[in-house]
A = this chain, B = another copy of it.
């Protein structure tokens, strides 16, 4: 068989991600699609550490580490510079965690989207502040334990829909993706690279310590997230929705939940609630997939 992705690696081994880190797979795949003519900026997040300490880095493209809340604005600044300097072809990317996207970096993201700045904004989503030791973020799903939503008081708010928020900005391209489907992500990026304007990519990236899951289950979980409808994978091009990984028969969410210690405390009723929430959201999206 031929590899389904290019062999070239722009991410070196030796980095500091935990065993089985989904965010590692996300970056590795992304770099294969974007190639060498790419510049990244990272806010504070696990990737701040994963990348490696001075004087090392595991990325083989230029990277600017930046403050937590500034990702999109920084990327806009880099892009503006590249434009005046006649290097407009280089792909400029912000790469942030869910906390840096849904919460503290949302304003900058919205500003860049409104201006339709010609950049990629990636959010690898592990559904909590992992780098600081698993605190609740706006992306943490209903029902989950984190250190700031203790089991007796598990998270009661539903996950913020960053995708709908971005969609409200009518950006030229946005997509969700899962590390379990690298070819899908790859294809999306190859296409989006040629689209001018703001591009938003939201990747579900399981985190073994944060989800209290086994490291070997990372890909399985990323797949189940899609198959259960917890994290539907689709793209939106100029307002048109397209589900790129179909899930005709969705699996019950319990299959997904039970592999994760962060949901261990949920009673049967709670699981039913989660299932309902997922069904509701899925129904809403299905309408859009059908162009309604």
Q: Which residues of A contact B (CB under 8 A)?
A: 69, 102-104, 106-107, 110-111, 114-116, 138, 157-158, 160-161, 164-165, 167-170, 287, 292
Contacts and interface: CB of A to CB of B under 8 A. Distances in A.
Contacts of A165: 110, 165, 168-169
A165 B163 CA distance: 10
B169 A168 contact: no
Given A106-B107, A164-B164, A165-B169, 5 more contacts: A103-B107, A106-B110, A168-B168, A287-B292, A292-B292
Contacts of A106: 106-107, 110
A104 B102 CA distance: 15
23 contacts: A69-B107, A102-B114, A103-B111, A104-B107, A107-B107, A111-B138, A114-B138, A114-B157, A114-B160, A115-B157, A116-B157, A160-B168, A160-B169, A161-B168, A161-B169, A161-B170, A164-B164, A164-B168, A165-B165, A165-B168, A167-B168, A287-B292, A292-B292
Contacts of A161: 168-170
- Interface majority SS on A: helix, strand, loop or mixed? helix
A57 to B, nearest CB: 30
Contacts of A110: 103, 106, 138, 160, 165
Contacts of A170: 158, 161
A157 B169 CA distance: 11
The winner among A107, A157, A292 for most chain B CB atoms within 10 A is A107
Contacts of A169: 160-161, 165
A231 B168 CA distance: 16
A169 B164 CA distance: 8
